[in-house]
Structure 1
């Protein structure tokens, strides 16, 4: 068992909780001289509910939003001194993609996510993304609940 992390996967969705997770990830990456991979999952399941709109337009807006969020976070991490920052934008269910495909692509030994995110309705009905990540990830998971500093 290693006491250091080398590859940190950080789930971001634009929420304040994701921002706290991101800041904690920067601190951990700097202490461990680790790589950060930022992941944003566009929940394509929600496109099926958009019957009266052009799904292509909705998908394009979601992708543009994701690209903007990722560029902001990547720049902030690099300015903070993290040397290797990668980004992943995926489509599907965040609950499945982050701990499985995302973790494998990042070769993650730590996943960091916020305790809650943008989808409050889904969290109420079937459980949170962070809960699913902690149950199915093969590596360590840090769920960030607030922005308190050490």
Structure 2
């Protein structure tokens, strides 16, 4: 990953993302690149439907909660100084990630994975197949080749 100046780390805040965070921190340190953390809340109408009626602006309520969670996670994995972007999406995470990548001048997108790579239908596989930049998939500690 030498020379990557803008690293987008698409994180779902899971154990797989924790593992990938170590690689992102190391790369950013070595290359001096900047890191943008991207977290997608997918299928937003489903999320909004579960909120209490007293919430005047459900999207702001969701965004604030998720931004706090992302900030706490970023501190825990030593990426507290990274830029952060929360995308509220009416559709799938993979589509939102690809749209965001299309808007950015990123050199690489990093994704953590626990499952078997190559299983069509996963967010990781779809992003890897369509990203406009390099893709680094970091296997989580829970995955073992079978």
Band of TM-score, shorter chain:
0.7 to 0.9
1:17-36 equivalence runs, <5 A? 17-36=16-35
Aligned to 1:77: 79
Structure 1 position 106, deviation (Å): 3.9
RMSD of aligned alpha carbons = 3.1
Moved more, 12-21 or 64-73: 64-73
Q: Indicate conservation of the 8 Å contact 2:9/2:36, yes or no.
A: yes
Structure-2 residue corresponding to 1:130 = 124
Task: Give the conservation status (yes or no) of the 8 Å contact 2:6–2:105.
Answer: yes
Q: 1:50 to 1:3 in 2, by over 3 A?
A: closer
127-136 vs 91-100, which moves further: 91-100
Query: What's the CA shift for 1:71?
Result: 1.1
* Cα distance in 1 between the residues matched to 2:97 and 2:23: 18
- Distance in 2 between residues matched to 1:138 and 1:42, nearest whole Å: 22
Displacement of 1:105:
4.3
Q: Gaps (5+ residues) in structure 2? A: 142-146
Structure 2 length as normaliser, TM-score?
A: 0.73
Whole-Å Cα distance in 2 between the matches of residues 40 and 49 of structure 1? 15
Structure 2 CA distance for aligned equivalents of residues 3 and 49 of structure 1: 39
Residue 133 of structure 2 is aligned with which of 124, 139, 142?
139
1:88 to 85, 90, 95: 85
C-alpha distance in structure 1 between counterparts of 2:129 and 2:52, whole Å: 32
- Alignment length (residue pairs): 132
| Length-normalised TM-score, structure 1 | 0.71
Residue aligned with 1:13, SS: coil
